[in-house]
């Protein structure tokens, strides 16, 4: 299963040489390969950022929190949190040219910093792996809906039927296991082929296809007769509905939507061409991610309003409300299939980026070939995903941290978390916000300013503004996100 890996030996030798000489070791090439161009890096990172949340969450929270007013606040939060921290994570990755774990080890040795900073790399990789385990299960739902739209299963379905269909899917561990397995195999096969032949070829096809599908669906939404109503819901500024909690939601989503703090952007940055501009690339990635979210809203809400459905349905919007809407419309099976193909592509590109940090580490440190590393990572995530599958059916009553009390002689428990709830809470509310905070602190306060500027290649007022935001505003914003996520704010 394993054999000596020349690249892994070279990596360990360089790390040990750094200790012996007491000076920085230049390592400007990744043993895993490199993106062929800056544009491919932008596509790959945008693929990592664009996921299930872009398709349903952003349009929904924008409409419920003031429409255009919320969009303006969100864009400000992207500028204060998303872009500065993404630039920091990319520059750390390109400086280290390794997996996140070994990148932080290299950077702490290069700058003679406390070795405890290495745990930042571990935290990101572990968070990404945990997210992958349940993300694959949810993505499997999208894959199943794609197939069932193709076969016309939802044609003429009513509200009760759509709800029952979803309940039948989540209530069947066998069906969830089948789709979870298919999606994980799809993801593992891409990663196993390497940076150029696997990851790059995948994003070259899927990301342009994703944008084309979005534009087709927006065009379809324009024929519903409710396009103006959908645009008004999404873009009309209503500052009366904009509250302190709305700002908190915008802050959190600005961070989470860009896949920050989970090792994916850092490892993608390690494959970034040396001459590519980190700042311009990051602006394009953030712009593409926001554009996808807005186009998704323009495609979804006219369809929802055309059928008199509730736009604030949360996750149910994707798997219950929209299938009902497509099932009642002319050409609904075709455009429903296109929509869930879009969702599958978004989930697939994100899942690929979640596998990559662990695969890179296994290749570097344990002599795995890339194919075996991808197989081992995919299999481990698949096994852990069983806990999420059972959370929706046979294990729904297996909860932790429940509050129990005796009522009329009967023990009544509430507030317990299933395995899925626990994994989601641990990663989204604790690990990722703290990871973003530590990235800002390391790049802004620990890493030498000279090295930061050398890697970023940004000078003058542009650098000073970014550096000030990263050092002062971004950490405060991340603390607010963390406190809000755990329910203190």
Q: Is the pLDDT of residue 365 over 90?
A: yes
pLDDT at position 157:
87
pLDDT at position 183:
98
For residues 377-385, give the mean pLDDT: 98
Q: What residues have CB less than 8 Å from 101, skipping those under 6 apart?
A: 118, 121, 122, 125, 357, 361, 365
Match 């300013």 to its residue by tokens: 449
pLDDT in tens, 14-54: 444 444 443 444 546 889 999 999 999 999 999 999 988 88
pLDDT in tens, 390-427: 999 998 888 887 666 676 666 666 667 899 999 999 99
Three-class DSSP labels, the chain:
CECCCHHHHHHHHHHHHHHHHCCCCCCCCCCCCCCCCHHHHHHHHHHHHCCHHHHHHHHHHHHHCCCHHHHHHHHHHHHHHHHHHHHHHHHHHHHHCCCHHHHHHHHHHHCCCCHHHHHHHHHHHHHHHHHHHHHHHHHHHHHHHHHHHHCCCCCCCCHHHHHHHHHHHHCCHHHHHHHHHHHHHHHHHHHHCCHHHHHHHHHHHHHHHHHHHHHHHHHHHCCCCCHHHHHHHHHCCCHHHCCHHHHHHHHHHHHHCCCCCCCHHHHHHHCCCCCCCHHHHHHHHHHHHHHHHHHHHHHHHHHHHHCCCCCCCCCHHHHHHHHHHHHCCCCHHHHHHHHHHHHHHHHHHHHHHHHHHHHHHHHHHHCECHHHHHHHHHHHHHHHHHHHHHHCCCCCCCCECCEEEEECCEEEEECCECHHHHHHHHHHHHHHHHHHHHHHHHHHHHCCHHHHHHHHCCCHHHHHHHHHHHHHHHHHHHHHHHHHHCCCC
* Pairing assessment for the beta strands 410-414 and 403-407 based on DSSP bridges: antiparallel
As a whole number of angstroms, the distance between CA 316 and CA 166 comes to 9
pLDDT in tens, 266-296: 999 999 998 899 999 999 999 999 999 999 9
pLDDT at position 109:
94
Render the burial of 57-80: b for 16+ CB within 10 Å, e for the rest: bbbbbbbbbbbbbbbebbeebbeb
Q: Is the pLDDT of residue 244 over 50?
A: yes
Q: Is the pLDDT of residue 80 over 90?
A: no
pLDDT at position 318:
83
pLDDT at position 341:
95
Does domain 35-384 match CATH 1.10.10?
Answer: no
For residues 1-20, give the mean pLDDT: 45
**Res. 327 pLDDT band, cuts 50 70 90:** confident
Q: Tell me how far the alpha carbon of residue 359 is from its chain's centroid.
A: 17
CB 62 within 8 A of CB 232: no
User: Over pLDDT 90: what percentage of the chain?
Assistant: 65
Task: Identify which of 194, 7, 197 has the alpha carbon closest to the alpha carbon of residue 97.
Answer: 7
User: By CB neighbour count within 10 A (0-12 exposed, 13-18 middle, 19+ buried), where does 428 fall?
Assistant: middle
As a whole number of angstroms, the distance between CA 243 and CA 467 comes to 29
pLDDT at position 163:
87
For residues 150-155, give the mean pLDDT: 90
pLDDT at position 308:
83
Q: Is the pLDDT of residue 263 over 70?
A: yes
Kindly report the pTM of this predicted structure: 0.90
pLDDT at position 56:
78
CB 411 within 8 A of CB 190: no
**Helices 432-441 & 244-256 angle (0-180, nearest 10):** 80
Tell me the Cα Rg of the chain: 23
pLDDT at position 19:
40
């Amino acid at each position: 299963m394993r054999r000596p890996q020349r690249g892994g030996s070279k990596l360990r030798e360089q790390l040990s040489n750094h200790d012996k000489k007491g000076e920085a070791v230049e390592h400007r090439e990744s043993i895993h390969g490199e993106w062929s161009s800056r544009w491919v890096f932008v596509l790959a990172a945008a693929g990592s950022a664009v996921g299930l949340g872009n398709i349903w969450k952003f349009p929904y929270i924008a409409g419920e929190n003031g429409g255009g007013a919320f969009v303006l606040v969100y864009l400000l939060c992207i500028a204060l949190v998303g872009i500065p921290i993404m630039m920091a994570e990319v520059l750390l990755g390109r400086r280290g040219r390794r997996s996140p774990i070994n990148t932080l080890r290299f950077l702490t040795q290069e700058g003679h910093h406390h070795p405890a900073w290495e745990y930042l790399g571990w935290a990101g990789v572990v968070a990404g792996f945990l997210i992958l385990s349940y993300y694959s299960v949810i993505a499997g739902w999208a894959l199943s809906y794609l197939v069932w739209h193709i076969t016309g299963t939802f044609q003429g379905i009513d509200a009760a039927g759509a709800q029952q269909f979803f309940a039948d899917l989540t209530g069947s561990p066998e069906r969830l296991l089948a789709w979870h397995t298919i999606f994980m195999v799809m993801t593992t096969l891409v990663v196993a082929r390497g940076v150029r032949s696997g990851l790059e070829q995948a994003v070259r096809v899927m990301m342009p296809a994703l944008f084309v599908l979005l534009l087709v669906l927006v065009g379809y939404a324009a024929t519903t007769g409710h396009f103006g109503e959908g645009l008004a819901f999404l873009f009309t500024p209503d500052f009366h509905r904009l509250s302190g909690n709305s700002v908190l939601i915008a802050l959190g989503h600005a961070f989470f939507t860009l896949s920050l703090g989970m090792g994916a952007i850092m490892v993608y940055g390690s494959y970034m061409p040396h001459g590519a501009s980190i700042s311009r690339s990051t602006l394009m990635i953030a712009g593409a991610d926001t554009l996808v979210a807005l186009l998704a809203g323009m495609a979804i809400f006219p369809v929802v309003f055309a059928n008199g459905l509730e736009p604030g349905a949360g996750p149910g919007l994707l798997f219950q409300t929209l299938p009902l809407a497509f099932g009642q419309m002319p050409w609904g099976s075709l455009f429903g299939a296109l929509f869930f193909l879009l969702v599958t592509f978004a989930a697939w590109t994100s899942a690929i980026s979640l596998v990559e940090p662990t695969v890179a580490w296994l290749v570097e440190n344990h002599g795995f070939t890339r194919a075996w590393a991808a197989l081992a990572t995919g299999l481990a995530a698949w096994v852990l995903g069983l806990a999420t599958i059972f959370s929706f059916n046979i294990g729904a009553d297996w909860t932790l941290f429940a509050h129990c009390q005796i009522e009329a002689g009967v023990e009544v428990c509430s507030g317990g978390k299933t395995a899925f709830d626990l994994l989601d809470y641990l990663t989204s509310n604790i690990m990722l916000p703290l990871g973003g905070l530590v990235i800002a602190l390391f790049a802004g306060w620990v890493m030498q300013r000279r090295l930061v500027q050398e890697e970023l290649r940004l000078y003058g007022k542009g650098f000073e503004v970014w550096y000030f935001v990263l050092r002062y505003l971004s950490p405060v914003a991340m603390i607010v996100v963390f406190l809000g996520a755990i329910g203190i704010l």
